[in-house]
Chains A and B, each alone.
Chain A
Amino acid sequence: MRAVELLDITKRFGTLTANKAVNLAVESGEVHCLLGENGAGKTTLMKILFGLYQADSGSIRVNERPVTIRRPDDAIGLGIGMVHQHFMLVPRLTVTENVIAGSEVSRHGFLDMNTAVEDIAKLAERYRLRVAPRARVEDISVGQQQRVEILKALYRKADFLILDEPTAVLTPQETDDLFEIIRRLKNDGKTVVFITHKLRETMAISDRVTVLRDGAVVDTLNTAETSPAELARRMVGRDVLLRVERPPSEVGAPLLEVRDLSVASRYGTAVESISFSVRAGEILGIAGVEGNGQLELEEAIVGLRRLSSGTMTVRAKELGTGPDARREVGMAHIPSDRLRRGVVPDFSVAWNLILGSQWRSPFSRRGAFSRKQINEYAERVVAQYGIRCGSIDAPVRSLSGGNQQKLVVARELSRKPDVVIACQPTRGVDVGAIEYIHNQLLAMRASGKAILLISAELDEVRALSDRILVMYEGKIVAERSCDAAESELGLLMAGHQAEAG
C-alpha cells in the first residue's frame, strides 16, 4: 500500500521554483531516502506534506485517499510526523512539556504531568529512545534532543515519520544509534522518509531512494540496485569524482610561518606553543576532533583573538594586529562559522561579495558606493563561481548552505590572496559544492599559494593535504605525510600518542 503520494507538486518562492511538478510515492513500511543537494527542494517538499507550506499546485494522497493539508495539525491528524533539521524545541521547558504541548493530557482542565511523564517514559522504553522526561531540554545533549523530536512525533501516533537531515548534528556514534532507532521503527510498521545529501547514509539505511535536483525528481531507485557513484551522478547531474585528483605541485618558500603560538582561553590554555610553516604551492592540513583548540588557532591566525605568546609572519614579515593587517598582506579567511563570521545573512549577495573591500576602488569612490561597479562585479563573480541565487539582490539568508559557502569562497579567493586560511570549508555543504570548493583550493595550490586547511573531516584533510598535523588538546601531537593511514590518524586524534607513534 502507498502510505503517501505526492502528485505534481509545484511550489514557488518569488522567482525561485523550489518544487517543479514533483511526483513521489512512498510505500507503507519502507525507509525512503530523499536525496539531493542543498537547495534541491527536499525540505520544501516535506514541509508541504507536513502543512507548513502550501503547494501552488498539485495534490496529496495519504493511504490512497486524497487529502487536504492546510496546517501541521491536519498532517498530525493523518499520522504524519516531522523531525526538523533545526530542532523545534523550547530549551527552557522540560522534555515532557515539549512533547505534549498541543496534545496535552489534562485532568479537570489541569495539566496532568505525572501521567504525561509516564506515557513518555513508556514510549521511550518501547523504542529505546533514552531520555529523561523531566530534564530541561537545554540540559541534554544534541543526540538526546533529537530523540525528543522523534518522541514528539510518536506521541502524536505518527506512523509516517519525516526526518530532515537528522545526522547533520550527530557524532558518528549517535548516528549509529539513530539508525538502530530507525530500524526499530520500521520493524514496528512505521514508514520513514529520510532527507539527506549523504550518499553513505542513503546506502546504509534506505530501501528506496528518490533523487531530487533543482526542485524536480530525477529518479526513484531501489537502493540495493544502485551505487554511490550512480546516485552522485543523478544528484549533481554529471559525473562526480568522489575522490579529488591532487597532482604533484611545485613547493616553494614558506609564505606563512607560525612560531611558538599560544592562546589563552577562559578555561586555561587553548593553544600551546604551536609552530609550523606553510609553503607556496602546498596545502597543510590540521586534523583533530573539534574542540581541541582549532577554533582558537583559527581566530589567532586571522587576527580575531589575542595571542598569549608567539609570532606569525607572512613572507618573513611580522604581522600587525587585527584582521585588516592580514588582508593587507594577502591573507584570505574562509571561517568555520559561516553565519557568524562568513556572511551577513540579511545583506544581499552583492553586498556580501564586497565585504572587506567595500571602501576600496572601484566599489566606492570618494566615500560613496558605486552601485554600478558593485553590481557588475557581483554578477561576474556569481556567474564565475556558479552561486545559485534568485538575484544578486537576494538576501544571503535565502541561499542554501552550499551556495552561501560558495559565496564566501568566491569573495575570499577573488581577492587574489597568497595565503588562504580555510576552516571547515565544506561543513554543511552538499556533494557538488564540496567538489567545487576542493577544486578551488587545489587550484590555489597549483598557482603557488599557501593554504592552511583546518578541518574536523578526516577524509577531507587526507584528500587535500600535502602534509598533515594532528592537533590534540591544544598541541600538535604529530606530523604525517598525506599517505598516512586513516586508522593511525584516528588514533592520534583521539590522543593515543604512544600506541600510534
Chain B
Amino acid sequence: MWLEILAVIFNLRTLNAAIRMSTPIALAAMGGAFSERAGVINIGLEGMLLVGAFAGAVGSYATGSALLGTLLGVAAGAATAAVFSIFTVEFRANHVVAGVGINILALGLTTWLMQVVWRTRGISPAVARVQSIRIPLISDIPVIGQVIGVQSPFVFVMIALIVGGWVLLFRTPLGLRIRMTGEHPEAADTLGINVRFIKHFSVILGGALCGFGGAYLSIGNIGRFSMGMSAGRGFMGLAANIFGQWNPIGGLGASMLFSYADAVQIRLQTMEIALPHQIIQMIPYLLTIVILAGGVVKSRPPAALGNHYRSGGGT
C-alpha cells in the first residue's frame, strides 16, 4: 500500500502531468506578478482565464484553426484586463471589488454566450485543438524525455514566456519602471515615469497571459469549453504569485508544487485507499493554505499595492 503511494508520488508520469497542469496556473501567476508589481491587486485572474478559455474555443470553432483560437483567447484575456484596469486605474475602483466583479462577469458572460454560440449549457462541442508535440532528440533521453519529451506546445511557450517575463521585469528599463510604480508611484511620477501607462500596460499584459493560459485549458488539451472550466486555477495562480514572491519564475515553481500535489491527488483517487476521495482532493488546497498561512514563506508585497495614485496632487 505505502509502496504504491510512494510509487505514484515519485513517478515521472506524475511529474509530466504536473508540468502540464501547472501551465495555466503559472501563466495566471505571472499575470498577477505584472499586475501587482505595478500596484494593482488582481483578484480577476480567474475571470480572465475563463474568458480566455471561452474565446479560445470560439475562435477555434469559428475558424477551424487552433492557432487563431489561441490568439483570440489572448486578445480576449487582454480585453477583460483592459476593462479591469480602466475601472481600477481611471475610476479608482477598489481593486478587490473590481476583481470580484470581473470574475462574476466572466462566469455569467461565458455561460450566456455559450448558449448563444452553441445552444448548450454545460459543454461545447469538440473544436480544433492544439496537438501535443514530440521533441525529436529530447524525447529519447531517458528521464528528461519522459518528463518533457512529449508535451503540448503550450507548455514550451509557457516556459519561454516565464523566462521572458522575468527578464522583462528584472532586466529591462520597462521592468524597473513597473517595479517602481508598484512600490512608490509618486517617486515614479517625479522621475517622469507615466504611472497610468505603466499600470494599464502591466494589467493588460497580465490579462493577455491569463488569456493564453485559458486557451490552453479549452483548446490546448481537451478541445472543448465547459462552463466555469477555470475551476479556481486563477485563484491558485494568485496564491502561487504570492508564494513565488511576485516573481514569474517563483510563481512557476509554486504552480508546479501545487500541480504536483494535484497530479498525485488524481492518481491516488484511482487507488483503493481507505480515505474518502473528498479528503484526497483537498491535498493541493491544504498545501496552499499551509504554505501561505503557515509562514513557510515570508512574503513582502509591493509597498503601494492596492493604492490609488493620481498625478497633480489629487487624492
Contacts and interface: CB of A to CB of B under 8 A. Distances in A.
Interface of A: 13, 47, 50, 52-54, 71-73, 76, 82, 84, 88-93, 97-98, 100-104, 106, 109-111, 152
A13 B313 contact: yes
Given A90-B187, A98-B180, 16 more contacts: A47-B313, A71-B189, A88-B184, A88-B187, A88-B190, A90-B180, A90-B303, A91-B183, A92-B183, A93-B180, A100-B176, A102-B180, A103-B192, A104-B176, A106-B173, A111-B176
- Interface majority SS (helix, strand, loop, mixed), chain A: loop
B192 A76 contact: yes
Interface string B188-200: 1111110000000
A90 B186 contact: no
Contact of B186 (A88, A100, A103, A152): A88
27 contacts: A50-B190, A52-B312, A71-B189, A72-B189, A76-B191, A84-B190, A89-B184, A90-B179, A90-B180, A90-B303, A92-B300, A93-B179, A93-B183, A98-B187, A101-B176, A101-B177, A101-B187, A101-B191, A101-B193, A102-B180, A102-B191, A103-B191, A104-B176, A106-B172, A110-B172, A111-B172, A111-B175
Interface in B146-201: 167, 171-173, 175-177, 179-180, 183-184, 186-193
Interface of B: 167, 171-173, 175-177, 179-180, 183-184, 186-193, 300, 303, 311-313
Nearest to A113: B171
Contact of A90 (B183, B311, B313): B183
Contact of B193 (A82, A102, A109): A102
A223 B186 CA distance: 34
A152 B191 contact: yes
B74 to A, nearest CB: 22
B187 A89 contact: yes
A25 B184 CA distance: 32
A52 B300 CA distance: 29
B207 to A, nearest CB: 23
Contacts of A106: 172-173
Contacts of A110: 167, 171-172
B172 A53 contact: no
A55 B99 CA distance: 36
> Which one of B183, B184, B191 has the highest number of Cβ atoms from chain A below 10 Å of its Cβ?
B191
B172 A52 contact: no
A101 B188 contact: yes
Contacts of A53: 312-313
Contacts of A54: 312
A48 B15 CA distance: 59
Nearest to A50: B190
A71 B192 contact: yes
A288 B9 CA distance: 65
B313 A72 contact: no
A252 B171 CA distance: 70
A106 B168 CA distance: 13
A53 B312 CA distance: 5
> Which one of B171, B173, B190, B311 has the highest number of Cβ atoms from chain A below 10 Å of its Cβ?
B190
Contacts of B312: 52-54
Nearest to A86: B186
Contacts of A92: 183, 300, 303
